[in-house]
Amino acid sequence: MKQTIEKHTENAVLVGVITGKIGNEYTSEATMIELAELAKTAGANVVGSMVQHRPAIETATYIGEGKLRELADFCINNEIDVVIFDDELTGSQQRNIENAIKTRVIDRSTLILDIFASRASSSEGKLQVELAQLKYRLPRLGGQGAVLSRLGGGIGTRGPGETQLETDKRHIRRRIETLENELKEVEKRRSLARTRRVKDGFQSAVLVGYTNAGKSTIMNLLTDAGVLSENMLFATLDPTARALELNDGKTVMLLDTVGFIRKLPHHLIKAFRSTLEEAVYADLLIIVNDISSPEYKIQLEVSRKLLNELGCENKPVLLVYNKCDVENVWQKSTNDQVFISAKENKGIYDLMNAITAKMSLSTRKMKLLIPYNDASLTSKLRDEGKVLTEEYMTEGIEITVIIDKMYEYKYGKYEIK
Ligand SMILES: Nc1nc2c(ncn2[C@@H]2O[C@H](COP(=O)(O)OP(=O)(O)OP(=O)(O)O)[C@@H](O)[C@H]2O)c(=O)[nH]1
Ligand SMILES: [Mg+2]
C-alpha cells in the first residue's frame, strides 16, 4: 500500500513571478510555499526560491533578462539539477529558459503530474495520469530543451529531426486514443458500481477538500478503511468507498477522494473527471478543511470552485474544520459545520451527529405495501421518489422507495416493517 518515491535527490530551485494580481490562479508567497511542498513530495531537495515582482510575465522567458542571468549563476553555484516554475510554461518558454540557464526546467503542472504518476496504483489511476501527461506533452514535443534534456547533448544540438518528431506525435496521438477508449470502459464500470450502490438503497457522503486536509484520516477513523494517510500532498488518488453506520442506524456509503490544489493542471482535471465526479453523485459533500493552515480560507474557496465546476453547486454541504488541536481553535459545532481533530479523535461524535442529521434531512427510505385498489399510487411514487424495488405479492405491491420527507405523511399508512 505504502509507496515511496524512489528517485535520487535532485537539487531544485523554485521560480515565480508575482504580478500583483490577486486570486487563486496567481503566484503569491503562499503558492510558492505550496510549490516547495510539491517539490519535496516529488523527492526534490529545495535549495532556493526566487520571486520576481513585475506587472506581467515576460512572454518569451517568463522572467526578465536580469533575473534570468541571476538564475543561471545561482544554478551553477549551487549545483542545481532542476528549476521549477510556479506556472505552466509553454514549450517555447521552457526551451528559451533552458537555453539561457543551461539547466533543466519544469513547471508546476509537470511536478503535479509527476507526483500523481508516482502515486497512481490502480489501473484507472495509471491510465488517467498517463493520459494527462501525454496531453500535456503533445503540444510541447520538439520544444524540449535540446541542450539539456538529453544526456551528452551539447550547446546547439538540435532535437529530433522533423520526420522523427512527426512519428513521435503520431505515436502519442494513437496512445492517447487507446487510453481514452480504455478509460471509457473503466468509467462504465465505475458508473455501474455507483448504480448498484443506489439500487441497494445506499445514500452516499463524500469526503472532499484540499490535499492534506485530513480526509483519509477521517475516513479511517470512521470506517477502519485502512487507507493511506500521510503528511504528503496527494496521498490519495483513488476513491475508496466503505459502509458507515450513522447514529440513527442507517447505513450509508462514505467515500474518500483525491485532494484539490491550486492551479491543478487542466488535463489532469479532465483525465480525472470520472474520479472527481464521485462528488457529483453523492448525497452529501463533506468538505474537509485544515484550520491550522493560514491559507484555509483560500483552500476552502479553491475546493468550492472546483466542486462548482464539476457541477456540485446545489449539493448539501457539511463543513468540517479539522486539525483544531494544532492551534487549539475550537468552536461550537452545528449541523452545518463541525470542529474536530481527527488525529486526537476529538469532535467525532459531533461529526457523526452532523452527518446523520444532514443525511436524514431531506429523504428517507420507506418500505410500502400498496393494495391493488390503490395501484395507481405506484406511478406517483416513481415520480416523487426513487423506487428501489417493486414486487407483486398477493396482498398488494411491495415497494421500497427513497422519498422526500414531505411525502412521509402521505404514504405513512402503507408503510410496513
Ligand atoms: N495535527 C493534526 N494532524 C492531522 C489531523 N488529521 C490529519 N492529520 C495529519 O495530516 C496529514 C494528512 O492527512 P491525510 O488524512 O492523509 O489527508 P488527506 O486529506 O487525505 O490528504 P490527500 O489524500 O493527500 O489529499 C497526516 O500527516 C495526518 O496525520 C488532525 O486532526 N490534527
Ligand atoms: Mg487522502
Q: Are residues 223 and 341 in the same domain?
A: yes
Q: Are residues 147 and 259 in the same domain?
A: no
pLDDT (tens digit, 0 to 9) for every residue of the chain, 417 residues total? Answer: 444 545 468 999 999 999 988 877 888 888 999 999 999 999 999 999 999 999 999 999 999 999 999 999 999 999 999 999 999 999 999 999 999 999 999 999 999 999 888 888 888 888 998 999 999 988 887 655 444 444 443 333 344 555 677 778 888 999 999 999 999 988 888 788 777 776 666 788 999 999 999 999 999 999 987 787 777 788 778 788 888 998 888 888 899 988 999 988 888 888 888 778 778 888 899 999 999 999 999 999 999 999 998 888 878 899 999 999 999 999 999 999 999 999 999 999 999 999 999 987 667 788 999 999 999 999 989 887 888 889 999 999 999 988 877 677 789 899 997
Q: Are residues 231 and 289 in the same domain?
A: yes
Take residue 40 and report the three cell numbers written for it.
519535496
323 lines ligand 1 (CB under 6 A): yes
Q: Can you list the pairs that 273-278 forms with residues at least 24 positions away whose Cβ atoms lie under 8 Å?
A: 273/310, 274/124, 274/128, 274/183, 274/186, 274/187, 274/190, 274/191, 275/124, 275/125, 275/128, 275/237, 275/238, 275/239, 276/306, 276/310, 277/310, 278/194, 278/206, 278/239
342 lines ligand 1 (CB under 6 A): yes
Q: Is residue 213 part of a domain?
A: yes
403 lines ligand 1 (CB under 6 A): no
Q: Are residues 265 and 357 in the same domain?
A: yes
Give residue 390's Cα distance to chain centre: 38
Q: Are residues 242 and 374 in the same domain?
A: no
Q: How far is the CA of 285 from the centre of ligand 2 (A)?
A: 15
Q: Which of 361, 377, 395 is the last residue in one of the domains?
A: 361
Closest-CA residue, ligand 1 atom 27, reads 231
Burial of 93: CB neighbours in 10 Å, binned 0-12, 13-18, 19+? buried
Q: How far is the CA of 280 from the centre of ligand 1 (A)?
A: 23
Closest-CA residue, ligand 1 atom 14, reads 214
CATH value at residue 105: 3.40.50.11060
Q: Are residues 234 and 350 in the same domain?
A: yes
Q: Is residue 4 part of a domain?
A: no
Q: Which domain holds residue 138?
A: 120-198
Q: Is residue 3 part of a domain?
A: no
Q: Are residues 107 and 71 in the same domain?
A: yes
Q: Is residue 305 part of a domain?
A: yes
> How many structural domains comprise the chain?
4
Q: Is residue 336 part of a domain?
A: yes
Q: Is residue 1 part of a domain?
A: no
Q: Is 81 helix (H, G, I), strand (E, B) or coil?
A: coil
The one-letter amino acid code at 209 reads G
Q: Is residue 377 part of a domain?
A: yes
Q: Are residues 240 and 318 in the same domain?
A: yes
Q: Are 286 and 205 in contact (CB under 8 A)?
A: yes
289 lines ligand 1 (CB under 6 A): no
